Structure 1
Amino acid sequence: MRTDEAVRVATLAGARVGMPVDDAQVLRVGENGVVLLSGVGVLVRVVPRAGAVQRVRLEIAVAEWLASQGVPVARPVRSEPIVVDQHVVSLWEYLPGGHSADLVTLARCLRLLHGVPRPVGLLTRVSPFSRLREQLASAVGLDERDRAFLREFRDGLAVQWDHATFALGEAVLHGDAHMENLLVTTAGRCAFIDLESVCVGPPEWDLTLSALYYECGWFSEHEYAMFADSYGYDVRCSPAWPVLRQIRMLRMTLWLAQSADNDTPRRQQLRHRLDSLRDGSAPAGWTGF
């Protein structure tokens, strides 16, 4: 979404609940927008889809439940979303000085998260292929040959997923567990953010991103070994590892395809990812954005 749109919607939502909005400051825009109201220490998250009310309401409820279980999370400051035009807005506490956690901290917090009792009726089961059809349809920089390849790739992985064997049982998952989704403040407080993917499923799903990022060369061997040791399990030993890593690579490729239209480095990296998925060399040469 656009920066000016995020500010306008955040300002209207804040004013509607009586918050000062003169100091609205955009922190991030993409598929959604994040705006800071620094005067009251509130983050305004803007989702540009009016039909997302139930999903945002669930994310708020999940955050409140996780906090009650002692899981470190960013907490909502309002229990109901606000609808502004065709946007759904939620209000969250701001964590001053928050920066991405290191891998050891991520591993320890994931152990804590995966150890909480599974709630009845609150969470859905992990859906590895959620939204991939929509992303494939809306992706830029893909020709029909690319789309056909990715559809076939996805369908084959779906069959493998249905027959996969997992070693760690079932747990509450973050769903998108990487260092940028766990903040650490200057005071030492940890907090999981972006809770819209929290679900129930095999813990291996949450461990796969860090292992795959290591394979991409984004972490050193020592850093990844510390992550696996701190959690107590190396997901690369899982019998499901081959399908887990390929699903994550597919998702990473389609994520990049959403924003590669007018960006030459992104288009080049997207083309490399597609070629390497085809020839089996992925994720060699994958860079982050």
Structure 2
Amino acid sequence: MTNPSPRAERAVALATEAGRRLGLRADEPRVLHDVFSVLVHLAPDPVVVRVPTLAVADPAELAGKQRRELAVAGWLADSGAPVVGPSPLVPREPVEAGGTSMTFWEFVTETDPLRDLPQDDPAALEDRFAEQTGWTAELHTALAGYPGDLPVLSPLVPAIGTALEGLRTDPQSLTTADLDRAEREYAALEALVADFPARFPRARLQALHGDSPAYNLLRTAGGHRFADFEDVTRGPVEWDLTFTGPRGIEAYERASGTRVDRELLDLMEGARLLQGLSALTLAPKVPELGAMLAPMVEQWRARTPLTLKNL
């Protein structure tokens, strides 16, 4: 990556420092990705460090979230599931440096990346996501056996509530009416999470990837690998299937042999839009984020508001 951002430069320094403390060489660190987190490959070792540069959680909360991620991804990797697992070269635990904590992962060489698809060919993109959504059924089957405890829909509650508190102080592009509606919707989601079975008795809650696994997948010479379990949580599979499109849902149903609840999927998509809106709280640190999220905010405004009645 040319011309790294200041946050990426700092992430490289922190990852290199932490890696060398753990016995890695880290002679040729390079940035692979720089958005919400910075991914640093500590070449020549096959290790990638994820450095959270925009985390809004306090350090203890962030470390707890990272421990859940490492536990789930590590368990999946040990079980033979197609995931990018924790690096076997360091202990499976968050590593502190410079006032933040980071996690260490396998380095995987990606083939046929999404960015190489023709971006002006919607059919090709739809084909890709339909196929990858079908593969998500395999991941869900593996996750259903996870024996550990996980919070229910933690990317929504309390994460959105914390973000909305910040947006009251610095609302970005949101109006007072937007914020009032967002807070009402969040209150409805809090009630749902508090007693999910009462409102959706047929839904089966299980361990989930938490952040659209069909979008967080690497194709490699050895097959596909799911990655980025930062938002691992417990909930209905519909949360992982938001905005994968009708063909993706059909592919998932064929692969899983189970029916996706369209009503619950629609609700989860409304919640996903509210989550996107809440990400505006990060815009002061990532100025381009406002423009990136603008279509999602407009889509949220056009939807019928979430209420306890329609939950």
Q: Report the TM-score, using the length of structure 1 for normalisation.
A: 0.78
Deviation per CA, 1:185-228, whole angstroms, max 9, x where unpaired? 1x132222111222332222222242xxx3xxxxxx65654344
1:117 Cα offset (Å): 4.7
Q: Which ranges of structure 1 fall in alignment gaps of 5 or more residues?
A: 215-220, 283-289
SS in 1 for 2:242: helix
Contact conserved, 1:62 with 1:122, CA < 8 A, in 2?
no
Q: Which residue number corresponds to residue 135 of structure 2? A: 108
Q: Which residue number corresponds to residue 207 of structure 2? A: 172
Aligned partners of 1:97, 1:225: CA distance in 2, in Å? 27
Q: Which residue number corresponds to residue 107 of structure 2? A: 94
Aligned partners of 1:195, 1:275: CA distance in 2, in Å? 28
Contact conserved, 1:10 with 1:46, CA < 8 A, in 2?
yes
Q: Which residue number corresponds to residue 285 of structure 1? A: none
Q: Which residue number corresponds to residue 132 of structure 1? A: 160
Q: Using a 3 Å threshold, how does the CA distance of structure 1 residues 251 and 166 change in structure 2: closer, same or farther?
A: farther
Contact conserved, 2:204 with 2:236, CA < 8 A, in 1?
yes
- Asked if 1:30 corresponds to 2:38, the answer is no
Which residue identity lines up with residue 156 of structure 1 in the other structure? A
Determine what percentage of the aligned residue pairs are the same residue.
26
Q: Which ranges of structure 2 fall in alignment gaps of 5 or more residues?
A: 1-5, 115-127, 306-311
Q: Which residue number corresponds to residue 151 of structure 1? A: 183
Q: Which residue number corresponds to residue 10 of structure 2? A: 5
Aligned partners of 2:152, 2:236: CA distance in 1, in Å? 10
Contact conserved, 1:166 with 1:240, CA < 8 A, in 2?
no
Q: Using a 3 Å threshold, how does the CA distance of structure 1 residues 133 and 102 change in structure 2: closer, same or farther?
A: same
Aligned partners of 2:147, 2:262: CA distance in 1, in Å? 28
SS in 2 for 1:89: strand
Give 4+ residue runs of structure 1 displaced > 6 Å after superposition: none
Which residue identity lines up with residue 86 of structure 1 in the other structure? G
Q: Using a 3 Å threshold, how does the CA distance of structure 1 residues 21 and 124 change in structure 2: closer, same or farther?
A: same
Aligned partners of 1:112, 1:195: CA distance in 2, in Å? 12
Which residue identity lines up with residue 162 of structure 2 in the other structure? E
1:92 Cα offset (Å): 0.8
SS in 2 for 1:197: coil
Q: Report the TM-score, using the length of structure 2 for normalisation.
A: 0.73
Instruction: Provide the aligned length of Structure 1 versus Structure 2.
Output: 269
SS in 1 for 2:283: coil
1:36 Cα offset (Å): 0.9
Q: Which residue number corresponds to residue 201 of structure 1? A: 235
Measured on the aligned residues, the alpha-carbon RMSD in Å equals: 3.0
1:132 Cα offset (Å): 0.5
Map residues 1-289 of structure 1 onto 2, 5 A cutoff.
Answer: 2-48=7-53, 50-51=59-60, 52-77=62-87, 78=90, 79-98=92-111, 99=113, 102-127=129-154, 128-139=156-167, 140-159=172-191, 162=196, 163-165=198-200, 167-185=202-220, 187-210=221-244, 214=245, 222=247, 225-233=250-258, 235=260, 237-255=261-279, 258-259=282-283, 262-263=287-288, 266-267=290-291, 270=294, 273-280=296-303
Aligned partners of 2:36, 2:216: CA distance in 1, in Å? 16
Deviation per CA, 1:64-96, whole angstroms, max 9, x where unpaired? 211223321111122222211202122111101
